[in-house]
Structures are given as structure tokens and as C-alpha cells.
Structure 1
Amino acid sequence: MNLSLFFILLGVSFFIAVPIGVVFAGISILPNLLSPSFPFTAEAALRSMVSGLDSFPILAIPLFMLSGVIMAGGKISEKIFNFFAYFVGDKTAGFPCAVVITCLFYGAISGSGPATTAAVGAMAIPFLTGMGYDIVFASSLVAISGGLGVIIPPSIPFIVYSSVANTSTSNLFIAGIIPGILIAFFLMLYAYIYCKKHGEDKAKLHENYLNIRAKGLGHLFLDSFWALLTPVIILGSIYGGIASPTEAAGISIFYALFVSMVIYKTIKVKDLLQILRDGVRTYSAILFIIATAVTFGRVLALLRVSTSVSAGILSVVSSKVGVLLFINFILLIAGMIADPLVSIMILTPVFLPVVNSVGIDLTHFGIIMVVNLAVGFVTPPMGMNLFVTSNLTGIPAMMLAKKIMPFIAFFVVAIILINAIPGLSLILIKK
């Protein structure tokens, strides 16, 4: 099958908004329909979909997502926010910075950008606007900070990348810690600059800070302790060799249930059925996309797309810096038009030969890929976090997209540093 026709049909399907899973499934069997000699039939595609999900690492995705749904039902984000607000609430941009840090920690619970945005935004946006902050600023802050949910471990995109690139999920989780903190720092830096420029309602801020402080550090610590312990348990069990990422995902579900039902008592037994339904609705569509994307990836391999693309890229740019600049540009564009998981499934096998040829570490490249795609959460037309915050506030997504540009600029500065300094990603990994 002609590769140009193949990608034209793919692009047209995306443009007219055909569901992604349907696109992958249909395009995968198209070469055989046009040329019966092509060795990938509809039956082979179906077997490939089933075998693609028959994977122990992939099992971590629905487990982590269910854990995140449970934690959201348990209203964990408010407890994390109050704890950090105790330390920074009286500083310039203190409460906005506390929101960023809350997203950072909640990301270590949910592993999902939209889930982090929804859980933290439902609490943080009304709080910030009540403090006198502009609602567009508050919404933009939550939307872009929600992207930390896929960078700080445990990250669902990291799991998908590791399965495609055949790298260690545990190493990717650990490698994401410093880049996630670095990006959070740059987002807080812009929040500080914004608040310095536009001012804050110091009277309201001081009143609310005193209300939080009146609870006492000991009470706040005990109230948030079990929530803050979640990432320690997940990452500690993985990095300590106690559990694999998939086993840690299973542990996180039982821990989330224990914390929400026994410690905080924010979830009742009668709520469990609805939580399970929400979990199934959340991850079933993603698993279908992954299954069809696996099939699509095998067709790309049979068509030798990666070889053609690799030769084409290296004929134009051959230096490591040039390759990184080109790939980062493509990833930023891909994040705007496709779900991060879809982009990872399509682009990873295409870029791996190029990355290997210039000596880029595969774990470092996984971090580069995910942080670039995370920008896509707040850039149209995809912009899932924009639509989540738009639903929470009623503000048009395009208005949020315009106001979020300064945040994106600071985010991109962090991405440049992550590209330029591999040690930021690799220093914590055991050799």
C-alpha cells in the first residue's frame, strides 16, 4: 500500500472526528483489503488487539485509574491542599503555589492529567476566586498544573511508553520525579510573577490563611498524612523491589479504599458500585484505544514506516541536538491534535530508530516524549484539561487557551532544560 495514501486517510479520519479506536481498527485492515497479499488480515488484527491487552504491565493502567477514581471520591485533594497552604498561604502567590503542589501530589495518586485537573479544580477554583483571584487565572493555573498528573509517577503514559519501547516502567517512574518538580517550580514562578504584577486581596488571603493556621500543624498533618503517604507507598514498593508497577497499582486500590472508607470515612459501602461504574467508564475507552493502537503499530511495522521515517529525518538532520529539536516540535504538534496515549503508541516505534542512532537514552526519551505531550492537555483542539476546567467554570475553552499562553511559555523553558540535561531524568535511577 502506498504510504502517502495510508497517512492521508489517517489524517482525514482524524480531521472529520472519527473515533480514534475506530480509525486505528479500520486503517489496520485497509492494506489487506486493498491488497490481499498484504500479510495482515482482519482476523490477525483481532488477534493482535486481544494479545495487545494480554500484558501484565498494561494491567497497571486500569488499576491506577480505578485507584484515582476512589481517591477522587474520597475528596483527598482538599486535605493535601490545606497541608501545603499552611506553609505558603501567607506568601505572595502562596495559595496558587499550594494548588500547583497539590496537583503534583495528586498526580502521584491518579497518574492522569484530566483526573488531576477535575479533582483539584473542583476544590481549588472556587477557593481561589473566593480569595479575589481572577477566575480565568485560577482556571488556567489548575488546567496546566493538572498536566503534572502524567509526569510525576505513577504515570499512565509512562506505562504505555514502556510497553511500546520495551523499557523499564520502574525506571521511567523514578526518572519523572525531578522533571515533574522542575515543571511545577516554573509554573509557581509564573504564578508569583502574575500575582506581583496584578496584586492580591491581602485582607481575604490573610483571613483564610489564619483559618487554616488555626487548625494547627499537628491536626493538618494528621488529617493529610494518609493522603501524603500514598505516593510513598506506591513508589517505595516499586523502587524498593517489593512490588512491580502493576502489583503496586493493585496495592494502591486497597490503600485508597482503606483511607477513604476507614480513615476519612468519605466513602460509604453504598458508594462503591457507582465508583466501580465510574472506573469502568474511565478506563474501558482507553483500553480499547490501546488495543487498536497495538494493531495499528504492527501494520506500521509491516509497512516499514519507522525505517522510512528514520532515513528521512537523518537525511535532513544528523546531530543529536537537531534530532531533539525536530522530535520536540513534532511531539508538541502531536499533543495538540491527539490524546497522549495515542501519540505514544504511534510515534514511539517511528522515532526509536532515530533516537537509537544518535545515542539518546530510551528512558530519557520517554520523559521528553511525555512532558511534550503534556502541553497538549492545554492546547486546542485536543486540550482535555481546558475542557475539564471549562465544564467546571463555564468559561469557554478558547478563552482559557489564550490566557494560558504565559504558563505554557514557562512550561516550555522547563522542557528545554529536561532535553539539555539528561541527568535531570536519569540521576535517581539505580545503575
Structure 2
Amino acid sequence: MSSGTIFVLFFVLLALAIPISTTLGIVSIVPSLYNSSFPANAQYIIRAMFAGMDSFPLLAIPMFVLSGILMARGGVSKKLFNIFSYFIGDKTAGMPCAVIITCLFYGAISGSAPATVAAVGSMTIPILINLGYDKAFTTALVAVAGGLGVIIPPSIPFILYGMSTGTSVGELFIAGVIPGLLIGFLLMIYAYYYCKKNGEDKEKINASVKELRDKGFLTVLMDSSWALLTPVIILGSIYSGIASPTEAAVLSVIYALFISLFVYKTLKIKELWNIFIEAVRTFTPLLFIISAAIAFSRVLTLLQVPQTVASVITSTFSEKVAILLVINAFLLFVGMVMDTTPAILILSPMFMPIIQTIDVNPIHFGVIMVVNLAIGFVTPPVGVNLFVASSLTGVPVLSISKKAIPLTIMFLIALLCITFIPEISMILVS
């Protein structure tokens, strides 16, 4: 059975709305059903799924999921938003920019784009709407800025990429810092343009900022300092060599429990059981997707798909720039129709031979890949961030998509810069 037939079957099953984990399992077993001599039989697939789960870096994912839920329930995003609003809230586009910065910081806590949208959006969207900002624009802003959650470290997609390619997760985290800041900066430029063009209700905004400043700087700072320390503790422990990404994920859970239970006192011990259940329910479907995607990627390797794809692309395009543009276009399309997790686990091994041929650093390519797929969070038909944001405000997904187009263009500009200026990703990597 040809690899082309496998992929046709894969997309047909997705079009029929069959769950992605089931789809991956079916297409993994089909070659052995067609050809009994094919080595990837049912037993091989099951062993591959279990072997794929036996990964120390993978343990970081459920820990970051749990940490993100604890922080969300503990109201950490509101604490972050307050301190940024205090300084820039009364400036032009100050409040939208405060939302973007909050997404940057919360992304350094959760490692997940949908989690960032849910946690930051639930706290900040009502505030911006009450201040007179357009509901659809505010919802789109949070949906797009939430994509920073998978670029700013710690990042679940970076963990998956590192696991599937053998690259250092710690170095991937470091490489994601400046690209994330660049994207955030470009989003703020558009927010400034939008507010200059459409105006703001300065009376309401100034009153809101005044109320915050009347509390005093030290009060607001002390209230937000524990939340601000979260990314410092998580990332500092990794970059200093004190902890691995997996160990840092455990530290993040302990810290989240501490500040939510004993500092902010926004959680009660009796609520923890339901939070643990929510974390398990969030991660378990992801676990099935990961295990099935790992098995499918091994089947593709046996079918020599990575070598075939590399041969086709490099024989069709000879210039490095053209090859990178083709890969970006392909990843943008994949991000529109497939969830990030299977996309990374399936495509990373496929592209490794190509990037080695054109002399692209695997760390740099990991950032390129994750930024591409982050754009997929706000592009239909999958666009998970769009649906999460829509559930928060009731704004139709199509309306959010329209408002998100200029913000997505800024994301694309950043992607081109990151792709063709490797130093943006690699300058902090030793």
C-alpha cells in the first residue's frame, strides 16, 4: 500500500469526524491488513504506543496542564493584568496591550494556547468590553494572543517536538523566548493602530486605571508579585540547570498550589479533587492522541515516507529559501485542519531529512514549526482558540475570524522574520 493512499484515508476519516486518536490508530494498522508481511502488525502498533509513553520529558505535559488549571482557578491571570494595566492602561491601546502582555506571562505558566485563552480571556474580556472596546475585536485579540502560550516557554508543543526529534527541550524553550516577544510586540503595534483608528472611551479607561492606582503601587505590586514570579521560577530553574523541564513542571504545580491555597487564598483544599479530575480529563485524550501519533509516525518511517518527502521537495526546489517557504505553506495548511499534537509527532520526523539537507538547525526549525502551528489555533476550520474564545463571549466564530485577520497577518510577518533570520531563535541558545 502506498503512502499516498494512507494519507488519503487519513484525511477521509478526519472529514468523517472520526476522533483523531481513532483515525491515527486505523491508518496505522491498515498497511499490515493490506500486506501481511508488513512488519507493523497489531502487536507492533500496540508496543509502539506503550513505548512512546515511556518518556521522561512527556511527564512534563500533565504537570504543566495541572499547573495551568490551578493558576486559572486561582485567578493568577487577573493579578498579572492588574500590574500591567497599572503602568500602561491609560496610554493609547494600553488595555489591549496589557491583555497581550498578560498572555505572554500566562503562556510562561500554562504552556498551552487554549488554556491561555480560557484563563486570560475569562478575566480580561469582560473588563475590556465594559471599558467600551468592541466585543468581537476583544475576543479576537485574546484568541490570537493566546497563541503565544505555545511559543513562550514552557511550551507543550516544544516538549513534543523535542521528544520526537531528540533535540533538547531546554534549548527549545530558550529559543522560543525572543520569537514570542517579537510576536507580542507586533500584535501590540496592530492594537495601537486599531485604537488610534477607532478611538477609545478614555473617560471609562482613566477611571478604571485611577481606581487601580488609588490602591497604591506597593499594594498592586505585592498582590501581583507572586504571579509575576511564576515564570521566573519555572524558567529560571531550567535555564540555570537546577531542574530539567519535567522537574520544573513539578515545581510549577507545587508553586501553583502554594500561592493559590496560602497566599492568594483563592482556592480551598476541598476544591482540589475536582481540579485533579479536570486535569486528568484534559490530559487523557491528549495521551491517546500522542500514543497513536507515535505509532503512526513509526509506520510512516517503515514506509520510508520521510525519505520520499525529502526527495520530492529537494528535487523540485533547489534553493533553501524556496524549500523553507514550501514547508511553511504546508505547515500553515496542516495547522488549519489538524491538531498541533499529532501534527508535530507525525511531521517532525518527516522534515528532519530535509532540514539536514539544507543545513537548518533543528532547534531553529522547531521554533518555525511551532509558530506555524500556533497560527493554526486561529485559522478555521480547526482553530481551537477561536472556539474557546467564542464560548467565553458568545461571538460567532466567523465574526472572530474576520477581526482576527489583521492580527494573524502580524503573526505571519513574525513567522517570515523567524524563518529567515535564524538569530532571532538562536541568539540565546549557547
Q: Tell me the TM-score normalised to structure 2 length.
A: 0.99
**Corresponding residue number in structure 2 for 1:129:** 129
Report Cα offsets for 1:92-146 as digits up to 9, x if no partner: 0000000000000000000000000000000111100100000001000000000
Partner of 1:302: 302
Question: Are 2:392 and 1:392 equivalent residues in the alignment?
Answer: yes
The CA distance in 2 between the partners of 1:354 and 1:304, in whole Å, is 13
- Quick one: distance in 2 between partners of 1:239 and 1:198? 42
* Number of matched pairs: 430
**2:13 aligns to what SS in structure 1?**
helix
1:290-313 deviations in Å (ceiling 9; x for gaps): 000000000000000001110000
Letter in 1 for 2:88: V
Aligned to 1:58, what secondary structure does the other structure show?
A: helix
Q: Which amino acid aligns with 2:124?
A: A
User: Which residue pairs with 1:418 in the alignment?
Assistant: 418
CA distance in 2, matches of 1:60, 1:74: 21
**2:145–2:184 Cα contact (<8 Å) kept:** yes
**Matched residue, 1:96:** 96
How far apart are 1:3 and its partner, in Å?
Answer: 2.0
Partner amino acid for 2:230?
T
Q: Is the Cα contact below 8 Å between 2:114 and 2:384 reproduced in 1?
A: yes
Q: After TM superposition, list the pairs within 5 Å mapping 1:10-409 onto structure 2.
A: 10-409=10-409
Flag as ranges the 4+ runs of structure 1 deviating above 6 A.
none
For residues 225-254 of structure 1, the C-alpha deviation after alignment (integer angstroms, 9 at most, x for no partner) is 111111111111111111110011111111
Q: Structure 1 stretch 409-418 or stretch 186-195: which is displaced more?
A: 409-418
Q: What is the rounded CA distance, in whole Å, between the counterparts of 1:185 and 1:63 in structure 2? A: 29
Which runs of 5 or more residues in structure 1 are unaligned?
A: none
C-alpha deviation, 1:55, in angstroms: 0.3
Superposed CA deviations along residues 79-103 of structure 1, whole A, max 9, x for unmatched, are 0000011110110000000000000
Partners of 2:128 and 2:364 in 1: how far apart? Answer: 36
1:4 Cα deviation (Å)? 2.2
The separation in 2 between residues aligned to 1:77 and 1:414, in whole angstroms, is 25
Check whether the contact 2:78–2:120 (CA below 8 A) recurs between aligned residues.
yes
Give the SS at the match of 1:11: helix
Amino acid at match of 1:186: L
Partner of 1:59, secondary structure, is helix
Letter in 1 for 2:338: A
Identify the residue that residue 428 of structure 1 maps to in structure 2: 428
2:4 and 2:415 map into 1 onto residues whose CA distance is: 32
Contact 2:63 2:249 in 1 (8 A): yes
- With 153-162 and 331-340 compared, the bigger mean Cα shift is at 331-340
Distance in 2, Cα, partners of 1:421 & 1:322: 15
Deviates more, 1:318-327 or 1:290-299: 318-327
State how far apart, in whole Å, the 2-side matches of 1:117 and 1:141 are: 10
Deviates more, 1:358-367 or 1:313-322: 313-322
Cα distance in 1, alignment partners of residues 338 and 102 from structure 2 = 27
Post-superposition CA distance 1:38-73 (Å, at most 9, x none): 001111111111110110001111111111111111
- Superposed CA deviations along residues 381-423 of structure 1, whole A, max 9, x for unmatched, are 0011100111111111111111210101111111111112111
> What SS does the aligned partner of 2:132 have?
coil
Across the aligned residues of Structure 1 and Structure 2, the Cα RMSD in angstroms comes to 0.7
Contact 2:367 2:425 in 1 (8 A): yes
The AA in structure 2 aligned to 1:183 is: I
Amino acid at match of 1:89: G
Measure how far apart 1:320 and its partner are.
1.3
Counterparts of 1:320 and 1:237, CA distance in 2:
37
Write the distance in 2 (CA, Å) between the matches of 1:220 and 1:426: 36
Give distance in 1, aligned partners of 2:3 and 2:361: 29
Distance 2:127 2:422 in 1: 38
Q: Once the two structures are superposed, what CA deviation does each residue of 1:246-284 show, in whole Å capped at 9, x if it has no partner?
A: 011111111110010011000101100000011001111
**TM-score, reference length from structure 1:** 0.99
- The percent of aligned pairs where both chains have the same amino acid is 55
Cα distance in 1 between the residues matched to 2:409 and 2:5: 36
Structure 2 residue identity aligned to 1:417: C
Aligned residues of 2:3 and 2:300 also touching (Cα < 8 A): no
d(CA) in 1 for partners of 2:147 and 2:3?
34
Give how far 1:7 is off: 1.4
Give 2:62's aligned amino acid. Answer: P
Distance (Å, rounded) in 2 between the aligned partners of 1:220 and 1:178: 28
Letter in 2 for 1:284: T
Partner secondary structure for residue 154 of structure 2: coil
Please list the CA deviations of residues 162-219 of structure 1 after superposition, one character each: whole Å capped at 9, or x if unmatched: 0111100000001100000000000010000000000001111110010111111111
